[in-house]
Structure 1
Amino acid sequence: MKWKVVVMLGAALTLFGCSKPDAEPTESELSNHQSQQVVIVHGLGRSAWSMQTMSDLISKQGYQVCVVDYPTLRQSIDNTLGESASAISNCLSQFEEADFVHTNQSKTHFVGHSLGGLVIRSYLANHPDFVSSKEMGEVVFLGTPNHGSDVADYFVNNGLLSLLGETATSLTTDPNSFPNSLPQPNYEFGVIAGTQSYPVFSGMFDNSNDGLVSVESTKLEGMKDFVEVDIKHDKLRRDPYVTRLILSFISTGTFDAS
């Protein structure tokens, strides 16, 4: 039976990390978007490259895009957060120093897939001056285990998640886990949750989930908007319809992709 658990763990690592055509932006939208940045943060076991589809679609709408790259596997949670914080700060600095003219509409928005959402929450909690500044934009959490993952619970109990390091083992639903130790957001944010599970993990959940994270775990008090999509966890980061929802939220504050 142990080989089955190992196979399932490998599948979880692979995955942790309905489409409509994109609307062409108008000239005025492009001009406005060029003074706004979108910082994108990937999840566990992924890299900046894994967010390329989303990055390209958002860039085509005129936004300045910075995709954060940081280590997650066989890392302490402190190192993961330290490296990601440095990368996010670098994105903000590059945007501030860019050649284009900044206006009173200059904003920086954040999009985090899975663990990436927790990384963003941690960063913003430690940078209150930026959160209270006029440059603070919208935040979208995409399949983020805001209260931990049932799949992480399963593999921690089997003693196998430790092979992936402390950052991975920190993602459980335990009341003292990393996700549950973060302060509540004090900025505008929306949540997108997937509802299409993976058969191999479906027995680990009691309720609706995206295969790795339950819908309930994605929810946070104070959500400005919330939407469920019939998409698996890993596909959330590369589905064009999901990116349309993100673009809608950062421009209007709602997930209206019509």
Structure 2
Amino acid sequence: MILLHGIWALPVMMAPMAWALRRRGYRTFNPMYRSRAHSLDRIVAALHPRFERFAAASPGPVHFVTHSMGSLVLRAYVTRHRPPWIGRAVMLGPPHAGSPWVDLARGLRVSGLCLGPSADLLDCRRNAVLERALGAIDFPVGIIAGTQSILPFVTSRLMREPNDGKVAVSATHLAGQSDHIVLPVGHSAMPHDRETIRQALVFLETERFDRAGADNDQRAIANRA
């Protein structure tokens, strides 16, 4: 199992997910990559030999759990190398259609400082070259989107639709996805949210999310509110 963190993050952000996966019997690899300093091409090139070594030591297919920008890195990696050992993937809050926060950063002329080369990748108006680099998926992908923002009075001005504080639910969808579920969780909280972790495990084992269980959990939250 390979885990990929998002931008401005470290592998420690994925540690709760990795711990849960190991408890379920998966062997995990949770690498760091230069999310802000390097271009997508350099990120993929640096990760390739590390992925290959891990896959060579792992019997059977290698699955992925990715968060935010890590989902785009996975897409680019598979498009470039199409490894025969690819298994299933769970993507948490993936900005497949970008994030309006990047557009805002561009307007304030701080996108380069805050995001580096990744600003182009995370933009809502991603260029054709990057779209081709991301390619299409041809392996099982389950997507978990969130609807909880820590600053709703701010994000509501950027996204007038359900969102996790950074990515709109509609922007998480991807052509060819195997399943998609929406949970009441914020973007940054996904890798250590209990229900998100549970749903990730369910998808990795069944290629489907536990929609009935998620509905029950959301009703319980509503009753406590």
TM-score (ref. length: structure 1):
0.75
The sequence identity of aligned pairs, in percent, is 29
Matched, 1:161 2:115: no
Higher-Rg structure is 1
Matched, 1:52 2:15: yes
Alpha-carbon distance in structure 2 between the residues aligned to 1:126 and 1:151:
28
Code of the residue aligned with 1:216 in structure 2: it is S
Alpha-carbon distance in structure 1 between the residues aligned to 2:188 and 2:122:
16
Code of the residue aligned with 2:146 in structure 1: it is G
- Report if the CA contact (8 A) 1:54-1:243 is conserved: yes
Alpha-carbon distance in structure 1 between the residues aligned to 2:45 and 2:204:
26
Match of 1:27? none
Match of 1:195? 147
Matched, 1:149 2:99: yes
Q: Deviations over 1:29-62 (max 9, x none)?
A: xxxxxxxxx1110000111111111100110011
- Report if the CA contact (8 A) 1:42-1:113 is conserved: yes
Alpha-carbon distance in structure 2 between the residues aligned to 1:152 and 1:87:
30
Alpha-carbon distance in structure 1 between the residues aligned to 2:93 and 2:195:
15
Matched, 1:240 2:191: no
- Report if the CA contact (8 A) 1:149-1:172 is conserved: yes
Match of 1:186? 138
User: What residue ranges of structure 2 are gaps of 5+ in the alignment?
Assistant: 214-225
Matched, 1:210 2:183: no
Alpha-carbon distance in structure 1 between the residues aligned to 2:119 and 2:69:
9
- Report if the CA contact (8 A) 1:171-1:177 is conserved: no
- Report if the CA contact (8 A) 2:144-2:180 is conserved: yes
- Report if the CA contact (8 A) 1:40-1:110 is conserved: yes
Secondary structure in 1 matching 2:88: strand
Alpha-carbon distance in structure 1 between the residues aligned to 2:159 and 2:78:
30
- Report if the CA contact (8 A) 1:191-1:223 is conserved: yes
CA shift in 2, pair 1:205/1:255, >3 Å? same
CA shift in 2, pair 1:87/1:212, >3 Å? farther
- Report if the CA contact (8 A) 2:95-2:171 is conserved: yes
Alpha-carbon distance in structure 1 between the residues aligned to 2:63 and 2:107:
37
Q: Cα distance, 1:178 vs. partner?
A: 7.1
- Report if the CA contact (8 A) 2:6-2:68 is conserved: yes
Code of the residue aligned with 2:181 in structure 1: it is V
Count of residue pairs brought into register by the alignment: 208
Matched, 1:92 2:55: yes
Match of 1:77? 40
Q: Cα distance, 1:180 vs. partner?
A: 3.6
Alpha-carbon distance in structure 1 between the residues aligned to 2:47 and 2:63:
16
- Report if the CA contact (8 A) 2:40-2:73 is conserved: no
- Report if the CA contact (8 A) 1:74-1:163 is conserved: no
Q: Cα distance, 1:88 vs. partner?
A: 2.6
Listed as ranges, the matches of 1:129-148 within 5 Å are: 130=83, 133=84, 135-148=85-98
Match of 2:3? 40
